[in-house]
Amino acid sequence: MSDLFAFQHAWLIPLLPLLGALLAGFLGARFLKRQSHWPIWLGVGASAVLSFSLLFGMLALWTKGRESSVREPAGKWTVEQANLERAAARDRGESKSVPLARSIKWFDWILAGGSDASHKSYPDNDIRSADGTVNPLRPFHVEAGAWIDPLTAVMLCVVCGIGFFITVFAAGYMKGESGYFRFFAYLGLFLFSMTILVMGNNFVMLYLGWEGVGLCSYLLIGYYYEKPAAREAAKKAFLVNRIGDFGFGLGIMLCFLAFGTVSYYGNGPHTGSGVLDMAMAAQLPGGQITPFQQTALKWIPFLLMIGAFGKSAQFPLYVWLPDAMEGPTPVSALIHAATMVTAGVYMIARCSTLFVQNEAALITIAFVGAFTALFAGSIALRQFDLKKVFAYSTVSQLGFMFVAVGVLAPVAGVFHLITHAFFKALLFLSCGVIMHAMSGELDMRKFSGLKRVLPKTHVLMLIGCLALAGIFPFSGFFSKDEIVGAAFHHNTLLGLVLLFTAFLTAYYTFRLYFRVFQGPEILPEAPAHASHGHGGDEHGSHNHEPWSMMLPLFVLAIGAILAGALNWPERERSLGTFLYESPSFQNGAVIADIAFTRLGGKPVDLSAFGRREADEAAMGHEPPFTPIMGISLIVALCGVWLAYRNHLKDRAAAERLARKLGGLTTLLEGKYWIDEIYENAIVEPLKKLGRAFFIIDQMVVDGVVWMISFIPQATGFALKLTTQRGYLQGYAASMLFGVLVILLLIFW
Amino acid sequence: METLALQHYLAVGAILFGIGLIGFMCRRNLIVMFLCTELMFQGVAINLVAFGHFWGNFSGQAFTIFVLVIAAAEASLALGLVVLLFRQKNTLDADAWRELKG
């Protein structure tokens, strides 16, 4: 496995976009100018190729491993766990495969603290002393390294693959913008951070990537920094994310405090040298765990969760994402739909070992996710800005993913992450095409019936809408239904909320589609002067669909159609069973099984972790999804039909309905006034507090400093008046006096 | 008559230094004040030479030669300054330049 080219050269995946960013950033303004996209294209393209070769290499190994059924005895740290694993393998009815997960160390990044002795023996083995407690003299050791497993490979392919097509699109979209090189430099930096985020083998690497994507998001939202709205949106995104990152940072610190390391798996799974491994010990019979670690395990998931809520725009912290649409459209597609905002889902899936043993955290995640899905989905109903509709839709879909990880179905969450990345990127980029064609206008009341103006975009957008609405056989259908099914398995209320949200999704998606592409052809009369003028020559040519922009869209559309096949239900080899090769999922399944059996809860559906029973009938387990699939398809079709009735057949009907619902409409149009509530309840008091502190600073702190500085000033002034009088002899006399005093002091 | 001891040299040096110091403190004339500083220099120089002699090495003499050379250089500068100051105010009184206190 280690001989695989892509494994050995995994370090190139983050490095190439970074190199591209440096080239574009430092040479762009002077030399590359209009060609600034080349370093990023090449860098990200090469990274995408490497990511896919990593994935396919892994798949080949996986297949080989399954065929030969070689079981590689992994190092076990307790006998109990080894027994348990063996029992689990017996339950599965087969022996499993070579491990597809490995840690690759690049270099030691941070090595601080601890005694000299602990430095010498640091490769994370001596974190535990003989009696099982954490060695208090442990160094803070962080290595820069990659954790390569199926989850990483899949995430890398999504990030680099979709990232590459979006950069290709962006070159066409951003043509003629001032600061063209700046845009591409930021984009490269973003992809560097995002790959670090998904590849890192410890929490600090994750945090580095986490903050890096936050920074790039800030820079790119504020790309049009002459526009006050863009500046405000960028600041808002950054500040709201700070709240989440604060919790995340505390969570990482607590991990180190309790477990003495920040590595996921240390030297490898089952060696007991990583956080996720040691956390597993909490649930295993005979596992060594201290009371402090027990307590820490209760808190760590909550703290990490706050970070995930911030980055993935969940309920209390979602407010930045709709505003982030001020950024250029490719940025909305890449960062605020496909990749960055899914980091929270990735993190929870990666740490499912920590989350699954904490029922309270799971319930919180699931309910916050469901609430966010419903909440944002309902706001999207009365938005008229195309990008805003999709922004709220993204928040809502992220809610779906959170429900998935919250109801012990991380595979469904990651699956939805992938399909969503495809179709939402497609939808956003199509919005970008419309925006160009309409000279920057995005209000769907101002235009209609564009299917003859933008025929290709029309088809592509229809594919995206079908996928988002969850119509069979488009990708969104499969992933969404897996989540809905898992939610029903866990909690009927959650399932009903998600089903209703799926209805809303279908409705608002097709409301947009019918309004924009169908019906009488209306174009905005006086083309509003584009806030970001694209090349003037483009206006005359009437070619709103250049190939450089359309080609990436076609690829994404193919993904939006076919990605559903990745996890085709009841297939022996699917995304789920592949992801199950990742220790994150495997351990998650084992722990969920133990924890929930101990609590006497409902049996955990282990197939949601990717475990496929060899003989499902014998296990008495049947996939619970089939009836749900039909129901949710009907629900989605209802939504589409309602949208057709209200927004195509009789457009006045929508307004009549809105008037009939009076208060509710106002509530939705006001977006529940969450922004206003935050403004008045948090921002204004904070500003007042800040002003009060400013006054205190001016009067008290500065006053004291001023007073203290007054003492030497006054003394100096007095001395000057009394002693510095210009008599040479006077100076000589005082010098003499001084010498005498010194002599006296020395010789007394 | 007994031989000259270190104390004798030191006494001469101290007397020279004391005369210089008193002269510097009491006289107003810039040139005389300057001469007094030279006297103090020589007092110190005698000390150095005496110590060097009685310790049996030449450091004191070497120092003294340095002091003399620097004193000579400084004397040329100082006398030039005194001449300039005199041209400005037609007097050698040090107190005439009180406004230089800043």
Which two structure tokens, joined as six digits, stand for A723? 């002693």
What average pLDDT does range A439-448 have in this prediction?
A: 83
pTM: 0.79
CA-closest candidate to residue A47, choices A170, A174, A190, A186: A190
Q: Report the pLDDT value the prediction gives residue A563, as an integer from 0 to 100.
A: 87
* DSSP reduced 3-state for A469: helix
Question: What gap in Å lies between CA A602 and CA A491, rounded to an integer?
Answer: 10
Give me the residue label for tokens 């988002």: A468
Could you tell me where the DSSP H helices lie in A174-227? 180-199, 203-221
Question: What gap in Å lies between CA B75 and CA A317, rounded to an integer?
Answer: 80
Calculate the dihedral angle through the C-alpha atoms of A161, A164, A168, A173, rounding to the nearest 10 degrees: 100
Is A466 or A725 the better-scoring residue by pLDDT? A466
Please check whether residue B2 lies inside any domain of the structure.
no
The predicted-structure confidence for A106-121, as pLDDT tens digits, reads as follows: 888 888 876 555 444 4
> Using only C-alpha atoms, what is the Rg of chain B?
17
| Nearest CB neighbour to B25, from listed A724, A726, A729 | A729
Asked if A721 is an interface residue toward chain B (Cβ–Cβ < 8 A), one would say: no
Q: Report the pLDDT value the prediction gives residue B1, as an integer from 0 to 100.
A: 54
Question: What gap in Å lies between CA A709 and CA A718, rounded to an integer?
Answer: 15
Residue A282 pLDDT class (50, 70, 90 cuts)? confident
Please check whether residue B14 lies inside any domain of the structure.
yes
What average pLDDT does range A380-388 have in this prediction?
A: 90
Residue B97: list chain A partners with CB under 8 A.
Answer: 726, 728
Q: Report the pLDDT value the prediction gives residue A569, as an integer from 0 to 100.
A: 61
Q: Write the CA distances from A303 to A132, A135, A296, A321, A371, integer angstroms.
A: 25, 24, 10, 21, 20
Pairwise CB contact (< 8 Å): A736 & B100: no
CA-closest candidate to residue A154, choices A59, A66, A64: A59
Q: What ipTM was reported for this prediction?
A: 0.86
Question: What gap in Å lies between CA A17 and CA A92, rounded to an integer?
Answer: 42
Please check whether residue B97 lies inside any domain of the structure.
no
Rounded to 5 degrees, φ, ψ at B93 are -70, 125
Q: How far is A181 from chain B (nearest CA, A)?
A: 58
Mean pLDDT of chain A, nearest integer: 83
Please check whether residue B101 lies inside any domain of the structure.
no
Tell me the sheet residues that pair with A112: A140
Q: Report the pLDDT value the prediction gives residue A619, as an integer from 0 to 100.
A: 41
Which two structure tokens, joined as six digits, stand for A511? 């409301």
The separation between CA B72 and the C-alpha centre of its own chain, rounded to angstroms, equals 11
Q: How far is B66 from chain A (nearest CA, A)?
A: 24
What average pLDDT does range A234-244 have in this prediction?
A: 92
Q: Report the pLDDT value the prediction gives residue A77, as an integer from 0 to 100.
A: 42
Instruction: Tell me how many residue pairs between chain A and chain B have CB atoms under 8 A apart.
Output: 27
Q: Report the pLDDT value the prediction gives residue A400, as an integer from 0 to 100.
A: 94
Please check whether residue B46 lies inside any domain of the structure.
yes
Contact A414, A352 (CB under 8 A): no
Range name among A357-371, A377-391, A563-577 with the lowest pLDDT average: A563-577
Asked if A130 is an interface residue toward chain B (Cβ–Cβ < 8 A), one would say: no
Handedness of CA B69, B73, B74, B80 (dihedral sign): positive
pLDDT at A599 over 70: no
Pairwise CB contact (< 8 Å): B95 & A727: yes
Please check whether residue B96 lies inside any domain of the structure.
no
Residue B80 pLDDT class (50, 70, 90 cuts)? very high
Pairwise CB contact (< 8 Å): B94 & A729: yes
Q: Report the pLDDT value the prediction gives residue A3, as an integer from 0 to 100.
A: 58
pLDDT at A151 over 80: yes
Domain count, chain B: 1
The predicted-structure confidence for A83-113, as pLDDT tens digits, reads as follows: 555 555 545 544 444 567 888 888 888 888 7
Pairwise CB contact (< 8 Å): A728 & B99: no
Asked if A727 is an interface residue toward chain B (Cβ–Cβ < 8 A), one would say: yes
Q: Which amino acid is at A471?
A: I
Residue B102: list chain A partners with CB under 8 A.
Answer: 724
pLDDT at A73 over 50: no
| Nearest CB neighbour to B98, from listed A726, A732, A733 | A726
Handedness of CA A517, A522, A524, A530 (dihedral sign): positive
Q: Report the pLDDT value the prediction gives residue A68, as an integer from 0 to 100.
A: 59
Q: Report the pLDDT value the prediction gives residue A97, as an integer from 0 to 100.
A: 44
The predicted-structure confidence for A667-680, as pLDDT tens digits, reads as follows: 888 888 888 888 88
Looking up residue B30, the CATH number of its domain turns out to be 1.10.287.3510
Question: What gap in Å lies between CA A156 and CA A147, rounded to an integer?
Answer: 12
Cα Dmax for chain B: 57
Please count the other Cβ atoms lying within 10 Å of the Cβ belonging to residue A289. Answer: 19
| Nearest CB neighbour to A732, from listed B24, B98, B100 | B24
Question: B42 lies in which domain range?
Answer: 8-90
* DSSP reduced 3-state for A104: strand
Contact A314, A369 (CB under 8 A): yes
Which two structure tokens, joined as six digits, stand for A492? 């009927």
Pairwise CB contact (< 8 Å): B101 & A726: yes
Element (H, E) at A650: none
| Nearest CB neighbour to A726, from listed B26, B28, B99 | B99
Pairwise CB contact (< 8 Å): A726 & B26: no
Please check whether residue B57 lies inside any domain of the structure.
yes
Please check whether residue B98 lies inside any domain of the structure.
no
Which two structure tokens, joined as six digits, stand for B67? 């002091």
